[in-house]
Amino acid sequence: MELDEQSEVDQSERVEKDRQETDERQENHEDDNEGEISTVAAENIRIGARAKTTGHNKEGKISDLGEKLCGPKQAKLSQYPQHNYGLKKRSFNSKWFESFPWLEYSISKDAAFCFSCRMFGKNVKHDTFVSTGLTNWKKALDLFREHEKAPAHKASMLSWHSFKSNAAHGTVIEQLHSANESEIKDRREYLTRIVAVTQFLAKQNIPFRGHEEGSSSHNQGNFLECLNLLKQFDPFLQSYSARSNSTYLSPASQNEIIESCAEEVTANIVREVKEAGMFSVMADEARDGNTEQLAICVRYVAESVVKECLLAMKTLKNLMQNALLLL
């Protein structure tokens, strides 16, 4: 009986020991799997990081080089990667940027590129300075000078300078347009003052011209004298110099401005007469020497105010013409 109980205890201990060994093996296997997974994950992260540092973006362009608006990316490092050339080690030299302003350096590729050819060059896709970059530091200076002499590089440099000029000052068309706008604005300012003087003299029934309007005259007439007076206090007239063919100060120009003002006044009178609906016409003759003139006026009510306005002065040749005008 005691032997049977002892054998059962021994058997249970063996089963428990076998179970513990099985659990330990499973735990070790899981740890190994976790280690493998961690290793694979770390390798994937390292590969991803390496892919990010290759210097290419989604479009296949090298990301650490300059753009059109920013200009060439001239990275100046304390020390560049060195390469063996025989018994000597050579690397890129930042002093080359001073001699070759078009030169740029890619840190990710450890190579030199030509900014103007990359951005503005035509038919230069297979050029080393555009595609892969120059890495032969032993012959770098000779290759830089040779590249500068290439017609394609010279054309790209002209395009680059033109681009910078347009970005700073606008295109030739834009510059001409801007100059025209400024000139138009100045002429309008100038004409505003001439029209103001014309309106003042017409309102006050003051004659415009004098007997002698030359530059040496002491009295050039009311129109020119008013402008000269205004010029003493107006900074714009003091700085503005009208072209010789567009001063608008001649008698013919004065008459045109007067006629334009008269047309505006007449148009305003006609508008008020139409709005009034009822009006009367008044006419009277006046003789100036041998010339017979007929003054035509209208009388109407506008905004509760009775107005009498002169519409025109007509030269008459005979009595029949007087009657026809009145009809």
Report pLDDT digits (tens) over 254-301. Answer: 999 999 988 999 999 999 999 998 999 998 887 777 788 888 899 999
- Name the band, by pLDDT with cuts 50, 70 and 90, for residue 104: very high
Q: Kindly state the average pLDDT of the residues 181-189.
A: 87
pLDDT of residue 126: 84
The dihedrals phi and psi of 267, each to the nearest 5 degrees, come to: -60, -35
More confident residue, 162 or 317: 162
Lowest mean pLDDT among 55-69, 150-164, 241-255: 55-69
pTM above 0.75, yes or no: no
- Name the band, by pLDDT with cuts 50, 70 and 90, for residue 68: confident
More confident residue, 197 or 294: 197
Query: Alpha-carbon distance 44 to 110, whole Å?
Result: 25
Residue 174 near residue 168, CB atoms below 8 Å: no
- CA distances to 40, 53, 128, 138, 139 from 113, in Å: 37, 18, 8, 16, 15
pLDDT of residue 312: 84
Q: What is the mean pLDDT of the chain?
A: 79
Three state DSSP letters for the chain: CHHHHHHHHHHHHHHHHHHHHHHHHHHHHHHHHHHHHHHHHHHHHHHHHHHHCCCECCCCCECCCCCCCCCCCCCCCCCCCCEEECCEEECCCCCHHHHCCCEEEECCCCEEEEHHHHHHCCCCCCCCCCCCCECCCCCHHHHHHHHHCCHHHHHHHHHHHHHHHHHHHCCHHHHHHHHHHHHHHHHHHHHHHHHHHHHHHHHCCCCCCCCCCCCCCCCCCHHHHHHHHHHCCCHHHHHCCCCCCCCCCCHHHHHHHHHHHHHHHHHHHHHHHHHHCCEEEEEEEEEECCEEEEEEEEEEEECCEEEEEEEEEEEECCHHHHHHHHC
Report pLDDT digits (tens) over 209-249. Answer: 877 777 778 888 899 999 999 999 999 999 998 888 888 88
> Tokens representing 243?
């072209």
Lowest mean pLDDT among 113-122, 176-185, 274-283: 176-185
Q: Kindly state the average pLDDT of the residues 18-34.
A: 52
- Name the band, by pLDDT with cuts 50, 70 and 90, for residue 24: low
Query: Alpha-carbon distance 241 to 183, whole Å?
Result: 11
Instruction: State the number of CA atoms in the 13 A half-sphere of 42 facing the CB.
Output: 6
